[in-house]
Structure 1
Amino acid sequence: MAYAVTAAQLNFGFKVAQQLISWSQLKRLWSAADADGEWRDAWLYDHFQPVNAAPDGSCLEAWTLLAALATQTARLRIGVLVTGNVYRHPAVLAHMLATVDHVSAGRVEFGFGAGWHAEECRRLGIPLPAPAERLARWDEACTVVHRLCTEDTVHFAGRYYQVEGAGLNPRPSTRPRFVLGASGPRALKVVARHADVWNVADGQVSTLRRGRDVLAKHCVDSGRDPAEITLSAQLHVAAGDLLAARFWTARLVAAGARHVVFSLPPDASPTLLRRLVTEVITPVRDEWHAKSRPDPSEVAP
C-alpha cells in the first residue's frame, strides 16, 4: 500500500544533545526558543555518555533535565527524542512521564524507542538484549505506558513486563503523544500499533520514503488509518551551511514529513535558532503553503 501524503499542519522543533554543554547554556537556548513562536517543540536525547565524542565527557541525564527545563519554559512542547526502553522499567517511566506532564502543564511528548547503544550499556552494566527481544520488550512497554496513562488500575501480564493493580496518581493531564523512533520492517510493526508520530532519526529522504509505505501496510494490518500517524524526521544541521538544511528540509517535507526536528550542535546559540527560522523554516513553509493551495483555475465557481 502506498502512503498518501496529506496536507496536515507543518511543525518544526530542535534537539540539542545534552553532552558537552552546561545547564546555563541549555536554559538560555530553550528560553530563547520558547519566546519565538516559530518553534513548536524542543528535545533532549537519552544517553549517559556523549555519543560520537569522548565517552568520558559531560552528559546530563535526560528526564531530570527535562523536568528542570519545563520550569524554564511556558509554551514549547518538550520531550526526549527518544527515550531508550532498555534503561528504565516502563511502569517507572510512566510515573516520570506523568510527573513532567504536570510540571510542564501538559506540554510533554513521549519520545520512545527500543534502545541501541551497546558500549554505553556495557559500561553501565545495563543488559542489552538481542534486537528481536528488544523490539518485543519495546512493544510491551508501549502498552504498559499507554494503559497507565489512560486507565485507573492496570493489570498486565506480558512475557517481559508485569504490573499488578498499578496506577498513576495523578495521571497525565491528557495522554501524551507517542513519538516512536524506529526503522526497519519489524520495528515499524510496533510503530503501527502504538505511534501518534513516527520519527526517522537519520534524516534521510530515502529512509522516510521506504518506511512510510511499509508503515502504511502495517497500519492497515493493525486496523489503523495510516493518516493517524504523523511522519517526523530529524535533520542534522551544520551552522555554516543552512542552505543545505533548507534543501533537505524541503525534500523531507515533499516526501511526507509534517514535523522536522533540527538536530543542533552543543554550541548552538539563540542566533542559530533565529537564523533557522528566517533562512530555513519560513521559506520552506511558504513554499509548502504555495504548493498546498489549490490552483484557482481548478476551483469550481
Structure 2
Amino acid sequence: MDLRIFTEPQQGASYDDQLAIAQRAERLGFSAFFRSDHFLRMGAGDPLPGPTDAWTTLAGLARETSTIRLGTLVTSATFRHPGILAVQVAQVDAMSGGRVELGLGAGWFAEEHAAYGVPFPEKRFGLLEEQLELITGLWGTPVGEKYSFAGKHYQLTDSPALPKPVQRPVPVIVGGGGPKRTPRLAARFAAEYNQSFPEKSDIVPQMNRVRAACEEAGRNPDDLVYSVALVACVGKDEAEFTRRAAAIGREPAELREHGLAGTPAEMVDGLGALAEQGITRVYLQCLDIRDLDQLDLIAEGAMAKL
C-alpha cells in the first residue's frame, strides 16, 4: 500500500506550515505530499493566515524537498486557463526533478469563487474535459512541432507547446463519483483514478465502473492506479485519539466509520480492508497540519507494519 499525506491548507496554514509537514513526510518515507487547491476556509474558525496558492506553494516545496512526490487533489478547472496551467505544472515538474502529479477536477465550491471574483459557470464538466485534452496535448506535442486546439471553451493556435515537463507524461489524476462521464474521463486521460471520502461500500462499485470504461475504450483497466482519500486520525491510545478527534472537530465514532481512525492497529486493519477491495494508494487527510507527531505515529505504528 502506497501512503501519501494530504492536507487542506485553506483551513489555516502558512507556507512554512506546509513546508514543515512536507519535509517531515519525506523523512518518514511517505511517498507524496499533496494539498487541496482552494482559496476559502470551509466552515467556522479562524481564517488566518489566509489562503496560499497551490502551484506557488508546490514550486517552493519542489526546491525544498528532494524525493517526495508533490501534487494537487485537486486543482479546479475554473481557477486557471489550461494553457497557463500546463506551463505552471511543467515548470514545477522541472523544478522538482520530475516529482509532480496533476489532479484536476471541475470545481464545486461556489463561495470561494464569489469571494475572489472567479467565474463559476453552472456547467463545468465540459471545461474539465477540454482542459484534460488540451493540457495533455500540449505536453505530448513533439519538440519543434506546434499544437492547436479548437474547442467550445478554449482555442489555441500554433502553440509551441513549451515548456515540456521532465516526466513524459506527468501523471494525471481524475477523481469523482459520477457513474458515467467521470469513468470515461479517467479511462481516457488518467494515470490514477481517485475516490475522495467515499462511503466504503461504494468503493468497489465505482471502481468497477471505471474498469468497464477502460475496457470500452480499449485500455487495460490494470493500467490505472486506484486510490482513495480518507481522513486520518490516530492516537497511541484511546485518550490520545479522542483528543486528536476533538482538535479537528470530529466525533470518534464517525471518524472510525468513515475514515482511518483509532489506534495504529485499527489503521492497519482499515488499510488491509482497502487493499482487499483493490485499492493500492491511500491519501491520508491530515486536518491538523501542525500535528507532526501524528505523522510519526502513523509511520511507526502503521506504515512500518504494512
Is the pair's TM-score, using the shorter chain for normalization, greater than 0.5? Answer: yes
Q: Is 1:123 paired with 2:115? A: yes
More displaced, 170-179 or 49-58? 49-58
1-structure distance, mates of 2:130, 2:216: 18
Map of 1:219 onto structure 2: 214
**What amino acid maps onto 1:155 in structure 2?**
S
Q: Is 1:80 paired with 2:72? A: yes
Q: Is 1:17 paired with 2:11? A: no
**What amino acid maps onto 2:178 in structure 1?**
G
2-structure distance, mates of 1:253, 1:50: 33
- Distance apart, 1:25 and its partner CA: 2.2
**What amino acid maps onto 2:55 in structure 1?**
W
1-structure distance, mates of 2:13, 2:116: 21
More displaced, 191-200 or 50-59? 50-59
Alignment of 1:238-277 (within 5 A): 238-239=233-234, 240=241, 241-243=262-264, 244-277=266-299
2-structure distance, mates of 1:23, 1:97: 18
What is the TM-score of this pair, normalised by structure 1? 0.85
Alignment of 1:43-82 (within 5 A): 43-54=34-45, 56-57=47-48, 58-82=50-74
Contact 2:149 2:157 in 1 (8 A): yes
Give the 3-state SS of the residue equivalent to 1:179 in structure 2. strand
- Distance apart, 1:182 and its partner CA: 1.4
Q: Is 1:207 paired with 2:202? A: yes
**What amino acid maps onto 2:117 in structure 1?**
G
Map of 2:183 onto structure 1: 188
Give the 3-state SS of the residue equivalent to 1:101 in structure 2. helix
Q: Residue deviations 1:95-142, cap 9 Å, x none?
A: 000110111111101111111111112222322223xx3112111110
2-structure distance, mates of 1:52, 1:127: 22
Map of 2:164 onto structure 1: 171
1-structure distance, mates of 2:198, 2:303: 16
Distance 1:52 1:224, change over 3 A: farther
Q: Residue deviations 1:191-240, cap 9 Å, x none?
A: 12111100111143223212111111111121211111110111101242
Alignment of 1:1-40 (within 5 A): 10-19=1-10, 20-36=12-28, 38-40=29-31
More displaced, 141-150 or 217-226? 217-226
Identity of aligned residues (%): 27
Distance 1:162 1:253, change over 3 A: same
2-structure distance, mates of 1:70, 1:203: 30
Contact 1:205 1:251 in 2 (8 A): no
Q: Is 1:232 paired with 2:230? A: no
Distance 1:166 1:252, change over 3 A: same
- Structure 1 unaligned runs (5+)? 1-9, 286-301
Map of 2:256 onto structure 1: none
User: Which of the residues 107, 114, 117 maps onto 2:106?
Assistant: 114
Q: How many residues align?
A: 272
Aligned-pair Cα RMSD in Å: 1.7
1-structure distance, mates of 2:132, 2:64: 29
Give the 3-state SS of the residue equivalent to 1:129 in structure 2. coil
- Distance apart, 1:188 and its partner CA: 1.8
Give the 3-state SS of the residue equivalent to 2:78 in structure 1. helix
Please identify runs of 4+ aligned residues in structure 1 that moved more than 6 A: none
More displaced, 51-60 or 194-203? 51-60
- Distance apart, 1:13 and its partner CA: 0.5
- Structure 2 unaligned runs (5+)? 235-240, 242-261
Contact 2:75 2:103 in 1 (8 A): yes
Contact 2:21 2:289 in 1 (8 A): no
Give the 3-state SS of the residue equivalent to 1:71 in structure 2. helix
Distance 1:82 1:55, change over 3 A: farther
2-structure distance, mates of 1:77, 1:184: 27
2-structure distance, mates of 1:128, 1:206: 32
Distance 1:52 1:157, change over 3 A: same
2-structure distance, mates of 1:23, 1:74: 17
Distance 1:245 1:118, change over 3 A: farther
Distance 1:55 1:226, change over 3 A: farther
Map of 2:138 onto structure 1: 148
Map of 1:197 onto structure 2: 192
2-structure distance, mates of 1:119, 1:55: 17
Map of 1:291 onto structure 2: none
